[in-house]
A and B are shown apart, each in its own frame.
Chain A
Amino acid sequence: MELKKGSPDFMIFLTVLLLLGIGIIMVFSSSQYASYYQYHDSFHYLRRQFINSLIGIGAMIFVMKMNYQKLKVFAKPALIISFLLLLVLLIDGIGIVRKGSTRWLGVGSMQIQPSELVKVTMVMYLALFLSERQHLMNSFRKGFLPPLGIMGIACVLIMLQPDLGTAMALAGTTVVMLWSAGAKKTHLALLIVFGIILVLLAIFLEPYRMERFIAFLDPWKDPQDTGFQTIQSLLAIGSGGLAGVGLGYGRAKMFYLPERHTDFIFANLCEELGFIGGATVIILFLLFVWRGLKVAVSFPESFGSLLALGVTSMVGIQAIINLGVVTGSLPVTGITLPFISYGGSSLLFSLAGIGLLLNVSRYAGLDR
């Protein structure tokens, strides 16, 4: 079967660029007050995010233009490299520690987050693995267990940093891909039960997660400590109303809202741009998911189909977890909002992932 090469999906490109644009504006708006006090420079984060976006778009276009067939070749080595980087992080004194987590590698301003890389390489590898073993999907041992094992190793390595949010996104994406690849429903059900037990164990074994979980159930019980992040987020969102207090006029960013330009940027957005702004972002993500899944459904070859699905799920699941946390619908987990939150690595690898999706979309034969 010969794949017909068309142009990349414009809708995906457009929604991602829109989200990226909103992101740059909101990173500036949410960070300027604090960044002035920290660096005496209101534009500190804006400048970096702008550069990050350019680099990310470059990577996206580069990946998009790559030969589709070569992606299969790169899948395995890329995963091995990212696993090695995760292992390197575990060596004492090499990783960069921030807020109790060891997530970064690098020197000076050149830093990367291997866990962000893993998200992309894992999707690539799973797409390859599942498409090659499509006929073995009914087999628990040969088709179902191996991808889970690989995912499990990645998750354990990530949890050692620790970074529950990324691990959850990774696990979720894996499950979605297994489901789409045709795994047996009994296997999946078993997995979900097992997964829930694992998540509960993760919560109950780590006191701070337990506190966060309790705070999620009733954030006002301890507004100064465990419920603090959720409450500040809710206060910011609630202050927005329909049209918001106006871009730049938010108050929550004045040190009230924690992680204001990263994990909780959506709260700041909702305060300043109101329900209109918040709903726009949610709808853009939904549009993105729709087009991404459309690419996956339409793609004739299972590798490309699973690749598109994996990238779309990865972005969608992260967005859902982040929005859930920010709106107080899920317990607090550190995870960024794709394309909008500040962050070099997450932007770079997310956009690289979009590059994969756009790459695949060229062969999907979709109508514009």
Chain B
Amino acid sequence: MQTTTILMRRRIACLFFGAIAVFFLLLLRLAYLQFAMGSELQLKAEQLRMREVPIAAKRGTIYDRNLRKLAISISADSVYALPPEVNYSGKAEEIARTLAPILEIPEEKLLEKITAPRSFEWIKRKVDFEKAQKIRQLDLPGIKVVEESQRFYPKDTLAAHVLGFAGIDNQGLEGIEITRDADLKGVPGNIVVEYDAKGRELPQAVHKYNPPVDGYSLVLTIDETIQYFAERELDKIMSGPSKPKGATIIIMQPKTGEILALANRPGYDSNNYGQFDPQTWRNSAVSNTYEPGSTFKIITTAAALEEGVVTPDDRFYDPGYYEVGGHRIKCWRSYNPHGSQTFREVMQNSCNPGFVEVGLNMENKEKGVFYKYIRAFGFGTKTGIDLPGEAVGIMINEKDLKTINIATISIGQGIAVTPIQLITAVSAVANGGTLMEPQIVREVIDSDNNVVKSFKPKAIRRVISEETAEIERDLLESVVSQGTGRNAYIPGYRVGGKTGTAQKAGPGGYQQGKYVASFIGMAPINDPEIVALVIIDEPQGYPYQGGQVAAPVFKAVVEDTLRYLGIVSQYTYEEEKNQGIKVEPKLISVPEVVNLSPEEAVKVLKVEGLKAEVKGEGKVVTSQTPAGMAKVETGTKVILNLGEADQSLIPGTVTVPDLTGKRIREVAELLSAMGLKLNPDGHGKVVRQEPIPGTKVQAGQEVKVFFTEEEETAETLGP
């Protein structure tokens, strides 16, 4: 028998120490993996197992200023596949065969999608509800339907350039949708699901649900109705005889800088933006720069009046041109020069030499002062409107400015501005001299209508004094009442404004036959509520002048807007004077006396200065000719038909008469004759009443009537 030798024992002992060393190293390695590397490896393992199924957040609504919906998110169903589950079911072909006719996708293509080497695959996004419902009911393995939201613009093309549009993933791409994307988009949520390596959802696995946070909604300054007026008129001019290349209208509240309407043509449908030329997406109102031409004379005048280099009654002489350093700046009517005229007439005639002289006088008084005003009015900088793609405009570098430049800029040439810059500047004249920041968003609200952010009107700086602004408004009114802006005249309203006709500059000078016709104006002139700018780009043929092409558009839009806003019509100084000469009969709104007794009815009509003729027998008036609210002259005979009580009316019901324009004494008489109580507010003439005219109320009810102080002139210079 061989014994175990000392050598053997020693070597075996060596082995033991070797083994200890190796096992110790393994322990170290294990500790390194589980402690030092632990969290990193764990995270990687989780990433491998966990998959997030995104849940889109609902994009906020965009409202107009009266909370009318301009852009909403509607839910749309999207169908997706989980290819591992499809494969596991072993019914991929059967599933494809079932789905193909429902989704109208070829079977082979479907099969490819549902067996794609991915864990998640969209099959079709935003499908019809019926189809989605059918697929839900089929409950095919690995085929799921998820609710997504889709942007929908209920008014289609309306305010497209303000709203812009959002893409398939509800991301803002244009307009307010992109500038306010952060507010609108919300925070997407997700469901975290744990899967095994074969793509099956784990039973009792970690399921985290992170709910999406819906986006905030926007309340715009836009008024849908006014926007509609503007777009309606744009469509009219675009299809009219002048067939312009494009057109823009902006309407602004001068006191706040709020934009009530902003529209361009050509336009597009936000719902189907992809089907329109991307050129149509361009918001010319803020992105285009153009030479403003004569409309810029408003700025020249404001600066000159403020600097005291001119007063409305200063005299000018127009020989048909003005010479500046060898250049002859011609008047638009050089074939028949305006000759001797006051500055007021220069304005009315839009006489170029007059403005050049004013501009140069200003520059002579103090070098650089005109440019200082131009900059103060906001030209040469972005207005900061919350819309994408705003341009800065083009101004000649002040160092390179020559006298000839001052001369041409005085008449709106040699400077390029954006429409939004111009209307913002002119609004400063309208509101008494303060430059406001144009505003398109009023409020950001959450889904419970709580205000998240509120945008208050922002005054940037005072540019001119109240007095200067008032004088200039007076001049602008005379442009409309007596000058080149006559076509902008709106009967019953005091409108001021300025026309502009600029030849378009192209490579190598001004282009023959290519004009930008524009009109910018405000109303009512004594306290402007709105400023509107109309720009017609390249009207074809004749006429092409702002006064002929743009002013009528201005009139149509502004007239409807003033009425819509409830701004009471008033007569201008001139109109009232004219009435005095012609002794124009005063028009009266006939009160409706139906359901009153004949005695009461006759009394009411008498109060209103109308005659009555009673016909038939009965206790009450059942009908009358002319009908209530009809406008007739004083002294007109109203025929009253008597009869038994009208079954459709509760006894004692009376119709609220139109009190607009009446003074308190007249109102009191009329209401008491009709058996209604008066609750007056303020003094002067009636501007508003509650209930509104034509409302049927019970006799004895109170009518709240709002009076406003009239202009002194109107008070003293009655007919």
Contacts and interface: CB of A to CB of B under 8 A. Distances in A.
Chains A and B bind each other: yes
Interface of A: 1, 33, 37, 131-132, 134, 176, 179-182, 234-242, 251-252, 254-256, 270, 274-275, 278-279, 282-283, 285-286, 289-290, 293, 296-297, 299-303, 305-306, 309, 313, 316, 320, 323-324, 327-329
B11 A242 contact: no
23 contacts: A33-B196, A134-B5, A180-B8, A182-B11, A238-B37, A238-B44, A239-B45, A242-B34, A251-B194, A254-B196, A255-B197, A255-B198, A278-B34, A279-B30, A283-B23, A285-B23, A289-B23, A290-B19, A301-B1, A305-B8, A313-B15, A329-B25, A329-B26
Nearest to B6: A182
B127 interface: no
A241 B16 CA distance: 29
A77 B318 CA distance: 135
B26 A182 contact: no
B26 A327 contact: yes
Given A235-B48, A255-B196, A302 B26 contact: no
Contacts of A252: 45
A286 B19 CA distance: 7
A237 B11 contact: no
Given A134-B5, A289-B19, A329-B29, A237 B34 contact: yes
Contacts of B137: none
Interface string B23-50: 1011101110111011011101100110
Contacts of A238: 33-34, 37-38, 40-42, 44-45
Nearest to A287: B23
Nearest to B206: A251
Interface of B: 1-5, 7-9, 11-13, 15-16, 19-20, 22-23, 25-27, 29-31, 33-35, 37-38, 40-42, 44-45, 48-49, 194, 196-198, 202
B690 to A, nearest CB: 71
Nearest to A135: B2
A302 B8 contact: yes
A306 to B, nearest CB: 8
A-B pairs with lowest CB-CB distance, top 4: A238-B41, A255-B197, A254-B196, A235-B45
**Overall SS of chain B's interface:** helix
A241 B23 contact: no
A316 B38 contact: no
A285 B23 CA distance: 8
B45 A303 contact: no
A180 B48 CA distance: 48
Contacts of B38: 238-241
B34 A241 contact: yes
B26 A309 contact: no
B11 to A, nearest CB: 5
Given A176-B15, A251-B202, 15 more contacts: A131-B2, A180-B8, A234-B41, A239-B45, A240-B34, A256-B48, A270-B30, A270-B33, A282-B26, A282-B30, A297-B4, A302-B3, A302-B8, A328-B33, A329-B25
Pick the most buried of B12, B25, B44: most chain A CB atoms within 10 A of its CB: B12
B12 A286 contact: no
A16 to B, nearest CB: 17
Pick the most buried of A254, A255, A299: most chain B CB atoms within 10 A of its CB: A254
B34 A275 contact: yes
A313 B15 CA distance: 9
Contacts of B5: 134, 182, 302
Contact of B2 (A176, A179, A303, A323): A303
B11 A289 contact: no
Contacts of A290: 16, 19
Nearest to B37: A238
**Overall SS of chain A's interface:** helix
Contacts of A241: 34-35, 38, 42
Contact of A234 (B20, B33, B194, B202): B33
A297 B197 contact: no
A270 B34 contact: yes
Nearest to A137: B7
A181 B202 CA distance: 55
Nearest to A313: B15
Contacts of A328: 29, 33
Contacts of A327: 26, 29-30, 33
A302 B23 contact: no
A255 to B, nearest CB: 3
A66 B26 CA distance: 36
Given A181-B8, A238-B33, A242-B34, A293 B15 contact: yes
B197 A256 contact: yes
A329 B24 CA distance: 13
Contact of B3 (A182, A297, A301): A301
Given A180-B12, A289-B16, A320 B34 contact: no
Nearest to A267: B33
A167 B16 CA distance: 22
Contacts of B3: 1, 300-302
Contacts of B19: 286, 289-290, 293, 316
Pick the most buried of B26, B49, B202: most chain A CB atoms within 10 A of its CB: B26
Given A256-B48, A323-B26, A297 B12 contact: yes
A60 B9 CA distance: 26
A297 B10 CA distance: 8
A299 B26 contact: no
Contacts of B15: 176, 179-180, 293, 309, 313
B84 to A, nearest CB: 11
A236 to B, nearest CB: 7
A282 B4 contact: no
A197 B27 CA distance: 29
Given A255-B198, A290-B16, A324 B26 contact: yes
A323 B27 CA distance: 10
B80 to A, nearest CB: 23
B81 to A, nearest CB: 20
Nearest to B196: A254
A328 B26 CA distance: 10
Nearest to A295: B12
Contacts of A176: 15
Nearest to A327: B29
Contacts of B1: 1, 301
Contacts of B49: 251, 254, 256
Nearest to B30: A278
B11 A180 contact: yes
A293 B12 contact: yes
A108 B41 CA distance: 41
B4 A301 contact: yes
Contacts of A275: 30-31, 34-35
Given A255-B196, A279-B30, A239 B16 contact: no
A318 to B, nearest CB: 13
A146 to B, nearest CB: 16
B19 to A, nearest CB: 5
A35 B180 CA distance: 55
Nearest to B32: A327
A320 B19 CA distance: 9
A123 to B, nearest CB: 15
Contacts of B44: 235, 238
A87 B3 CA distance: 35
Contacts of B22: 320
Nearest to B198: A255
B200 to A, nearest CB: 8
A324 B33 CA distance: 12
Nearest to A252: B45
Contacts of A306: 8
Given A238-B38, A275-B31, A286-B19, A182 B8 contact: yes
